[in-house]
């Protein structure tokens, strides 16, 4: 991978006679890809004693320049002459493949002198592989994978994107969730970071299927000749299908009754209430993982001191909705 607009010039020190350096001066340089220059190289130069000295530039692949003759076929590499006796090697668009040792060898009238630098190319973090969005059933074990490249090696952290924003430190590439619950559904964020540049971030969506649970079901009062409704709400993934029953008989939208269901909610509507409409109703919510029900009562708005009046007969009735079973109703003789 080659990134443009990065020009990094590094110099090799060969001031042997003046500075009394040893035969090989090995320097380690960290250079980042992209537009980040980690070190200044203004003090590192390749300097020859006089015009009779011969200079060569080499890397692990072989000779780059011998004198002014370019041996390398790489168009990014140039020899820059700073003065009559001073040269530097410039590499444009530094790449990870440029990493390694570079040697400036000077043949003087006395003896060969060399100066060496080891170039380390730093690479911004980049997520190379991450799990696809996944759908599982509640109670399953889930493993999410996030792999990244970079120099230095990126640090991986996971975060569940909830109001609390819990982080999972030290999980590295793998995030394991044992016995996943519906509360653990949602988006998970993988962040790969090193000190070279800003972190790379990607997300995975985890959908958790679970059977229906009735979240709201309330009995309702009604006046004859008026409109009334019973409401039933349920939580489930996938969204539940609703059915309504009365006395074990399924109700359809007909004869003054209408059923309206949207995701997670169902309404049983009575357009013109008569005494025949008063009584017990059952809401059933189901998906592929399970089924549940709740009992509701449509009762007369007129209530005597003894209890509710249904069709001229007095009843003592428990008006609370039950998630399962049928409300207890006892006739007064």
* Predicted pLDDT of residue 328: 34
Mean pLDDT, the chain, whole residue set: 76
pLDDT at 131 over 60: yes
Give the global pTM: 0.67
> Stretch 91-102: mean pLDDT, rounded?
81
CATH superfamily of 131-210: Immunoglobulins (2.60.40.10)
The highest-level CATH class for domain 7-122 is mainly beta
Give the percent of the chain with pLDDT over 90. 44
Q: What is the 3-state secondary structure (H, E, C) of the chain?
A: CCCCCCEEEECCCCCHHHHCCCCEEEEEEEEECCCCCCCCCCCCCEECCCCCCEEEEEECCEEEEECCEECCCCCCEEEEEEECCEEEEEEECCCHHHCEEEEEEEECCCCEEEEEEEEEEEEEEEEEEECCCEEEECCCCEEEEEEEEEECCCEEEEEECCCCCCEECCCCCEEEECCCCHHHCEEEEEEEECCCCCCEEEEEEEEEEEEEEEEEEECEEECCCCCEEEEEEEEEECCCEEEEEECCEECCCCCCEEEEEECCEEEEEECCCCHHHCEEEEEEEEECCEEEEEEEEEEECCECCCCEEECCEEEEECCCCECCCCCCEEECC
Per domain, the residue ranges of the chain are: 7-122, 131-210, 219-331
Report the CATH superfamily, name and number, of domain 219-331: Immunoglobulins (2.60.40.10)
Whether the domain at 7-122 and the domain at 131-210 fall into the same CATH topology: yes
pLDDT at 296: 95
pLDDT of residue 322: 43
pLDDT digits (tens, 9 = 90+) for 269-306: 999 999 999 999 999 999 999 999 999 999 987 653 44
């Amino acid at each position: 991978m080659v990134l443009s607009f990065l020009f990094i010039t590094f110099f090799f020190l060969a001031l042997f006679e003046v500075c009394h350096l040893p035969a090989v001066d090995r320097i380690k340089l960290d250079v980042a890809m992209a537009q980040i220059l980690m070190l200044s190289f203004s003090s590192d130069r390749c300097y020859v004693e006089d015009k009779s000295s011969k200079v060569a530039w080499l890397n692990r692949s072989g000779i780059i320049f011998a004198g002014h003759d370019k041996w390398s076929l790489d168009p990014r590499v140039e020899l820059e002459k700073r003065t009559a006796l001073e040269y530097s090697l410039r590499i444009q668009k530094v790449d990870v493949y440029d990493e390694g040792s570079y040697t400036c060898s000077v043949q003087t009238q006395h003896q060969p002198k060399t100066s060496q630098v080891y170039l380390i190319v730093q690479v911004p973090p980049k997520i190379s592989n991450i799990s696809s969005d996944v759908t599982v059933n509640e109670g399953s074990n889930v493993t999410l994978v996030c792999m990244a490249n970079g120099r230095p090696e990126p640090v991986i952290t996971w975060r569940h994107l909830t109001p609390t924003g819990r982080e999972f430190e030290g999980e590295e590439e793998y995030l394991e969730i044992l016995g996943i619950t519906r509360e653990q559904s949602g988006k998970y964020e993988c962040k790969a970071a090193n000190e070279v540049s800003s972190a790379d971030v990607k997300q995975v969506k985890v959908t958790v299927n679970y059977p229906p649970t009735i979240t709201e079901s309330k009995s309702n009062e009604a006046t004859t000749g008026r409109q009334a409704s019973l409401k039933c709400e349920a939580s489930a993934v996938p969204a539940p299908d609703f059915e309504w029953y009365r006395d074990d008989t399924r109700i359809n939208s007909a004869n003054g009754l209408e059923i309206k269901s949207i995701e997670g909610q169902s309404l049983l509507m009575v357009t013109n209430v008569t005494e025949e409409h008063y009584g017990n109703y059952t809401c059933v919510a189901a998906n592929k993982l399970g089924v549940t029900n709740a009992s509701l009562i449509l009762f007369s708005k007129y209530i005597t001191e003894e209890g509710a009046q249904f069709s001229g007969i007095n009843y003592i009735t428990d008006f609370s909705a039950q998630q399962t079973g049928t409300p207890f109703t006892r006739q007064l003789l």
